[in-house]
Structure 1
Amino acid sequence: MAVFGLASAVAGFVKVRFLVDKAIIDNVVFRCHYRITSAILFLCCILCTANSLIGDPINCINDGSVSGNVINTYCWITSTFTLPHQQGKHVGTHVAHPGLGNYVDEENETRYHAYYQWVPFMLFFQGILFYVPHYLWKNWEEGKIRMISDGMRGVMAATREDRKDRQSRLVQYIIDTLHLHNSYAAGYFFCEALNFVNVVGNIFFVDVFLGGAFMTYGTDVVRFSGLNQENRTDPMVAVFPRVTKCTFHKYGPSGTIQKHDALCVLALNIINEKIFIFLWFWFIILAVLSGLALLYSLVIVVLPSIREAILKRRFRFSTPAGVSALVERTQVGDFLLLHLLGQNMNMMVFGEILDELAQKLSDYMHNNVPTTPSTLEMSPIYPSKDKFPKETEA
């Protein structure tokens, strides 16, 4: 029951939030990092530490001259090993288990397995790494979208007059802070790039952790599933062996050092092998999506025509000609602010805001007169000006 309690707590990362006071400040790929991936890694960490699911993580068999608790504890805190030259041999006739057979210290190469002690810690650490970019962006963003879209997210205002008043104040705020959001956009794009670096770095990190076996782990498993069942070696057993060897030394009655050979069953590897094969495919998919999202952001920064197409296609604008004028008079930071606002508002409301914004910008450019001071800070529906991010006070 404790496992289900912890799992339900982790579910809070991925739950869909319909509350009005929650503003969307990123895209779907961004949320896949800090909500879905972090939740997956934390859940896997819980599964690895839930001994009730698989029993004891290690059980060793010996000739009885060493206490079972002693040999189990010793082999868990030190390490166990397999013999690479015994891999691929027929089980039951040539070897007792995959990778286990006759062993001579001087002649045979050994592969030691000590990672299983660190798997829960590593998964927890990875979960934190995937949450860090969101944490940085959330602190950089400082709740700007939530504050300036207050009362216009989700369900529309109760009366048309109230909604129009809020829209006018928001439009005036955007005009007063025009071209002052580039550092805001830079923070977002930096955290988006950090997401991509993070997922690629985690692939290499896990590969080092597993001794260089993670890079081809997924492709090896896929290839294994298509081979003849009688003549195939499971790559998951090679990376996460279920039975390993352990050597324990102690003094005999006459003071001679005795060597005790034990076979250890690693039940925990049944879960580990499933976790890492899933993570292999998930990290690859997430890396591709993050790379495409980063390329998409780069195109937005470089090509104003793409920004125009996005506004026209995603947010049904009533006057297409106004979109071109709007894009010409705004910069990347202004576009990102508008884009995030559009994700939080009803499509019709956002279209009206863009219409009004384009009209006011056009009037201002043609008349070349300063706009009236913003009344955002004087409105009871908006926080005071000193609560906005510093760059908006300029």
Structure 2
Amino acid sequence: MLDIFRGLKSLIKVSHIHIDTAVFRLHYSLTVILLIAFSLIVTTRQYVGNPIDCIHSKDLPEDVLNTYCWIHSTYTITSAYKKKEGSEVPFLGVANSKLYPESEKKEYRYYQWVCFMLFLQAILFYTPRWLWKGWEGGKIHALMMDLDIGLCTEVEKKQKKKMLLDYLWENLRYHNWWAYRYYLCEVLALVNVIGQMFLMNRFFDGAFLTFGIDVLRFLESDQEDRVDPMIYVFPRMTKCTFYKYGVSGEVERHDAVCILPLNVVNEKIYVFLWFWFLFLGILSLITVIYRIVIIFSPRTRVYLLRLRFRLVKRDAVETIVRCSKVGDWFLLYMLGENLDTVIYRDVMHELGHRLLTRHHHNASSVKGELQEA
């Protein structure tokens, strides 16, 4: 199994350049790795065995019956879940289908599609990252100019800091659209998590939205009086009906009992994913609310910059936030996450000094015009 996870290292490379936040990275990094790993695990017979094994009569080839039941799905009897296992029924959900109406049959059509669905989920989780990577356009990396390590000559360091300052000075108040596209990607990440909960609910015939809660309730209750929700959604034993022509040309019906060993793995995967998606959804919702507060509250922007970058003086931070827009704040925050702390402090102080000087100059000009008038 370790070979599977070793192979995933090449799928997502951890970059030392941060162009997004930790919560956003949870979506496209850890979650994507988990989903692809789960997809590979459920397709690896070495660990889970055959995906389906059906008990059959001697005149039915084993491969034919297994393939048929795998393609055409299997079913259980809902009333049989309330029977006593070992005496009334051989296994929960398995009973003589002739004694029950068709409405009692619960078919399981998702079984063979789990690995594909997990892979599709991984693609959906990576989509916001793919969009932001294209929209970001390497801006952070270009502006860093290897100033993250700070191991360069003073002449080179001074030249690079001047280039960075000149860019920030000339393009101040022009980064809103760039930042809003990132905020849009964070909203898409939230929509994706919520949407995937409903997608899984549809995939599992309406049994996924409350799946985690049902499992917790079952573990806390008297288990003899309740049906295990994991067995109900992911049965280990089901039934399959196979029809074929007999020796006299009449249609013969063969009822087979099928063991689904893969569902032992599937149930654990989706219990974990239910709680993980809930955790990600809560974090993402908090992040979106946090972005809204930042957009409409300059005071919060000052506080966050002071909290994260303590070497920068408060006066410089207040001047920069007052004279810039939220897009500039986001760019400066991301630069602070990547640049050497001392270099970042110097850049912020110089930028704040320039803005303050311009503000005083403009104020003096206005005062002089008023006096002349």
8 Å CA contact retained: 1:182, 1:331: yes
Instruction: Quote how far apart the aligned CAs of 1:341 are.
Output: 0.2
8 Å CA contact retained: 1:25, 1:340: yes
Q: In 2, Cα distance between the equivalents of 1:43 and 1:278?
A: 13
> Are residues 1:114 and 2:109 paired?
yes
> Are residues 1:178 and 2:176 paired?
no
Show CA shifts across 1:61-84 (max 9, x none): 022221111111110011100001
Identify unmatched segments of 5+ residues in structure 1: 370-394
Q: In 2, Cα distance between the equivalents of 1:318 and 1:263?
A: 70
Q: 1:35 to 1:318 in 2, by over 3 A?
A: closer
SS in 1 for 2:42: helix
Q: In 1, Cα distance between the equivalents of 2:67 and 2:306?
A: 65
What is the correspondence of 1:129-208 to structure 2 with a 5 Å cutoff? 129-153=124-148, 155-208=149-202
| Identity value in percent | 41
Quick check: 97-106 or 175-184, which moved more? 97-106
8 Å CA contact retained: 1:14, 1:36: no
Q: In 2, Cα distance between the equivalents of 1:171 and 1:75?
A: 68
Q: In 1, Cα distance between the equivalents of 2:360 and 2:140?
A: 29
8 Å CA contact retained: 1:311, 1:317: no
SS in 1 for 2:125: helix
Q: In 2, Cα distance between the equivalents of 1:327 and 1:90?
A: 69
Q: In 1, Cα distance between the equivalents of 2:184 and 2:224?
A: 51
Show CA shifts across 1:143-174 (max 9, x none): 00000111211x21333343233222211110
Show CA shifts across 1:159-209 (max 9, x none): 334323322221111001111111101111111111000110001001000
SS in 1 for 2:145: coil
1:258 aligns to what?
252
2:219 aligns to what?
225
Q: In 2, Cα distance between the equivalents of 1:63 and 1:157?
A: 76
> Are residues 1:10 and 2:5 paired?
no
8 Å CA contact retained: 1:33, 1:130: yes
Q: In 2, Cα distance between the equivalents of 1:318 and 1:281?
A: 40
Quick check: 327-336 or 61-70, which moved more? 61-70
Residue in structure 1 matching 2:283, options 289, 311, 322: 289
More helix by share: 2
Residue in structure 1 matching 2:354, options 360, 364, 368: 360
- Give aligned pairs, total: 362
Q: In 2, Cα distance between the equivalents of 1:318 and 1:160?
A: 21
Amino acid at match of 1:276: Y
8 Å CA contact retained: 1:13, 1:36: no
SS in 1 for 2:253: strand
8 Å CA contact retained: 2:42, 2:48: no
Instruction: Quote how far apart the aligned CAs of 1:4 are.
Output: 4.2
